[in-house]
Amino acid sequence: MKYETLANVTLPKIGFGTWNIGGGSTPNLKLDSAHRIALRSALDVGYTHFDTAEMYASGHAEELLGQAIRESNVKRENLFITSKVMPSHLRYDDVLHSCEKSLQRLQMDYIDLYLIHWPSVGSKYDDTFRALNKLVKDGKVKHLGVSNFNLKLLKQAGELSETSIITNQVPYSLSDRSYVKNGVLEHCQQNNIFLTAYEPLDKGNMRSNKTLEAVAKTHNKTIFQIALAWVISQPNIITIPMSTNSDHIKENFEAAEINLTKEEIDSLNK
């Protein structure tokens, strides 16, 4: 696995996302067995960064992740757990309550990285960060970040946080480079902030083309592995693909070992 270190935080280039684990917006208990197996598979393969949220399956994703970790032989201190507070819970007391509920569902004493999941129109971020800063001081959270923030909001978050904002989690892939165009990626790269790319494979619907297929053939890898390798070839970028297929889970993890040439990267950039 390749790693990226920024502001004294080291993260694997490829982590594991948990959107749709446990269900979509609401829990689907019929999926529990299969999804626990998927999470255990990810732990067995060697993933150490797991990304979840109180919004995922209304918190059930956090429960399943916590269960899978407890059932594994992996020590909590060797993992990096990210969770998120939903946009309807950004008032001071609600932030504190949301974090406490996430910790209870995960059955953990602390969360490594806690994010504002989405910006909310009309939210008083002074109030939100007063609560987030308290969570860091109290040891409930180690690091703070945001998700889906534009450049203006990302800069505002940096001003309100008493500790470094270590990431902005946004959609980023070969086909979606909107956060390059809006200046967020450049700001992250200039200010020691991780850009955490979600949906790096366009939810599994990534379209192929001759360039992608040619690079994949050269490396004897899938086009999806090449797409992940392209994402993480860039400085300050990590990613969190998700799969419940054990083969794909392993393939995604192994994509970190692909070394693309400058010519291959340039051709994919185009």
Distance CA(188)–CA(181), nearest Å, equals 13
- 56 carries an active-site annotation: yes
Of 47, 56, 125, 179, which one is the catalytic site residue? 56
Whether 79 contacts 50, CB under 8 Å? yes
Distance CA(50)–CA(249), nearest Å, equals 13
Active site residues: 56
